[in-house]
Chains A and B, each alone.
Chain A
Amino acid sequence: MSRWTGALFDLRGFAPLRTSSDNATDRTLGSGRYAQQTGPDGASAFSPWLHRFAILTAISTFGLIIIGGLVTSHGAGMAVPDWPNTYGYNMFAFPFSKWVGGILYEHSHRLIATFVGLLTAVLALWLWLRETRGKGRWLGVGAIVMVLGLMGIRALPIYITLACLALLVGAFSLYQISRNFSALRWWGALAFAAVILQGVLGGLRVVWLKDQIGILHAALAQMFFALTCLIALFTSRWRQERTTLFVRAAIPAAKRARTESCAPAQNVLAWLLPVTAFLIFAQLILGATIRHQHAGLAIPDFPLAYGKFWPSMDTESVVQYNQRRQEITAVGPITALQIGMQMAHRMMALLICGAVAFCAWSARRQVGASHPISKLTLAWFGLILTQALLGAATIWSNKAADVATAHVMVGALALALGAIVSIIGSRSLVWVWGAPAVEAQAVSTFGLQPSPDTGLK
């Protein structure tokens, strides 16, 4: 028996099952024997209400991203000069009659953010309670409740302290996740730390008047949305049923690949998916930088740029560009750097389109058109095309707020789907390489990659 069977993982339970090689052969895929089993590290079984709550959190986060996008699209990020108060009022007591102009967007954003923060706290609590026992359980609960209480004091030094602590907790959660990917309680802790940090960053952007914090705020928002989507995925039946589907679909393709002497190194999907998702994230950061500098129209035409394939960026040209611009809102003159960023954004979009198209093509070729990965990557490609079209529409519509916000929305969806496809891919496509051996033993290779150490080919 090869070495990797000593540390098998059961996809259905999403937790490592330390089984012997003898009884591994007794298992059958989709038998449901382990469907409700709790892993040795306390990872819990499927709970429909937990899953629904995780979906609610993800959808609410998406709504928050939309309203946040509207805030920036309307240039209303500073419409409420104080924080955590709103024009001197308690945030929750601000009169509705004063929700005018940019205040409507900014104040709504704050209220929805508070709601999402509460949902995330409940989700983190829920996950923590399900997967912990003893002192650690109540320590975690106490910490979350205490943080919520401190947030209620509404004082800047406390918020800054909590943000610093959130950074530490987030880093520790990532460490724990790297040790045990299936420990959902740490995913919950990571989400809670992220939402605290995100809220404080949003507030500091207002009171410290720093655009750079706004860019960080936007980037973290995208990460947080992807994180809530992943938690929704992890709490789903995917671990118990859908994975079996993936695996079953993958095995015939694996046999085919083996017959054709397809070397493992040729299967680029497993790394291409996360790399492409990361490219999308980098693109979102670049887009956030452009948006927060209000340089979305640094180049006013598309597909050309100032009538050329590559615009001139010398000082004389930039002066002329600025002379042609109409100042409708309070945005500063554009700079050569902003034009360069806009071009980089366009080039990156081309690269991402190509990468996602290749992912979709590669998935169909390697695991067949009916495989869920193929369908998901195809949907991903559709999203990317929509996103490209919305990017062009943003320029053509003179950066209309609704179109620009739709561009942000689809960007967030593309990143979240990229994260989901990457995770699913990394945990089902490994089967393609090791499928014949796996089929014989009817277990998955969760978490293991082909290498001389694992014995997988």
Chain B
Amino acid sequence: MKRFSALMIVACGCLLSIVVLQFNGFNPADEVSFHRNYRGFELGQKLSRQLPFNSYQFLSVRNNSIYLATLTALRLITKIDQKGCEYQPYILAVQTGQKILVKNSDPVLHNIHPTPAAPGNKEENRAQMPNGPDLPFSFPSPETFLRIKCDVHPWMFAYVCVVDSPYIGVTDKDGKYTIKNVPDGKYTMEFYHRKAAPLSAPVTAEVEVKGGAVTKDIALEAK
């Protein structure tokens, strides 16, 4: 009986510790308040990144005859900020080899964990303390929707689209996009969307640029 009682006490202790971990441990008070209840988050509090549907498309303009010549023309350092336990921006488009600086504006530590799939792009997992120095990343191989995540805060993730062309863009929340400095010529535009136009089936459109701005509207639809 004594042994049984001891076992029951241990079992109750284990259960209690699980409950405590589950409801109090994950998001302490010093973290962002809207993530306080992880279960609640799972149930739909944090779905803004999915909506509206037409936002955050990634697109590229491809024309082999010109982008090779201008490959290095627009190489700039670009930034991803961690603010409010979210990555800003959610989708970033960069050229191959372009330097990305990841900044931590939060009062909590994060880990930055890119999980590339393309050969040549290196998976890393680096720690970043609150207000620590910016961490540089770069990816030499083209890869669409390369995911960067934080394992400390599992809801934190963002995508980097690495393209070997400078003529790239990401739509805003209203679905608008602009690609500047495109020389005159005929191009094939490729549109990607996490849901409506995945990697295996990008939507394409032909466009001709001739001495000025060209508008091209595309409708994407999830099946």
Residues of A within 8 A of B (CB): 59, 62-63, 66, 70, 74-82, 87-88, 98, 100-106, 108, 206, 209, 315, 319-320, 322-324, 326-330, 332-333, 398, 400-402, 405
Interface string of B3-44 (1 = CB under 8 A from A): 000000010001000100110011110110000001101110
Q: A100-B28, A105-B21, A400-B39 are in contact. Are A329 and B157 (CB under 8 A)?
A: yes
Least CB distance, A396 to chain B, in whole angstroms: 13
Inter-chain contacts of B152 with A (CB < 8 A): 76, 79, 100-103
The answer to whether B194 touches A327 (Cβ under 8 A) is yes
Interface string of B142-175 (1 = CB under 8 A from A): 0000010111111111000000000000000000
The answer to whether B26 touches A405 (Cβ under 8 A) is no
A373 CA / B111 CA spacing, docked (Å)? 50
The answer to whether A104 touches B127 (Cβ under 8 A) is no
Interface footprint category on B: 35 or more
A329 CA / B151 CA spacing, docked (Å)? 10
The answer to whether A102 touches B109 (Cβ under 8 A) is no
B50 within 8 A of A: yes
The answer to whether B147 touches A405 (Cβ under 8 A) is no
The answer to whether A82 touches B127 (Cβ under 8 A) is yes
Inter-chain contacts of B194 with A (CB < 8 A): 327
Q: A63-B14, A400-B39 are in contact. Are A315 and B21 (CB under 8 A)?
A: no
Binds A, one of B73-81, B181-189, B196-204: B196-204
List, sorted by A's number, 21 A–B pairs whose CB atoms are closer than 8 Å: A78-B151, A87-B127, A88-B127, A100-B27, A100-B28, A100-B30, A100-B31, A101-B26, A101-B31, A102-B151, A103-B152, A104-B21, A209-B123, A315-B200, A320-B223, A327-B157, A327-B194, A328-B42, A330-B147, A398-B43, A401-B39
The answer to whether B109 touches A87 (Cβ under 8 A) is yes
The answer to whether A79 touches B157 (Cβ under 8 A) is no
Q: Which residue of B lies closest to A87 (CB)?
A: B127
Other A-B pairs beyond A101-B31, A323-B196, A326-B50, 4, CB < 8 Å: A74-B154, A98-B109, A330-B157, A400-B39
A401 CA / B223 CA spacing, docked (Å)? 30
The answer to whether B18 touches A70 (Cβ under 8 A) is yes
The answer to whether B222 touches A104 (Cβ under 8 A) is no
**B49 contacts which of A106, A206, A319, A327 (Cβ < 8 Å)?**
A327
Least CB distance, B102 to chain A, in whole angstroms: 13
Q: Which residue of B lies closest to A77 (CB)?
A: B151
Inter-chain contacts of B210 with A (CB < 8 A): none
Interface string of B104-147 (1 = CB under 8 A from A): 00001101010100000001111101000000000000000001
A323 CA / B53 CA spacing, docked (Å)? 11
Q: Which residue of A lies closest to B125 (CB)?
A: A81
The answer to whether A402 touches B196 (Cβ under 8 A) is no
The answer to whether B125 touches A209 (Cβ under 8 A) is yes
Inter-chain contacts of A82 with B (CB < 8 A): 127
Q: Which residue of A lies closest to B223 (CB)?
A: A320
Least CB distance, B46 to chain A, in whole angstroms: 7
Least CB distance, B174 to chain A, in whole angstroms: 21
Inter-chain contacts of B28 with A (CB < 8 A): 100
Inter-chain contacts of A330 with B (CB < 8 A): 115, 147, 149-150, 154, 156-157
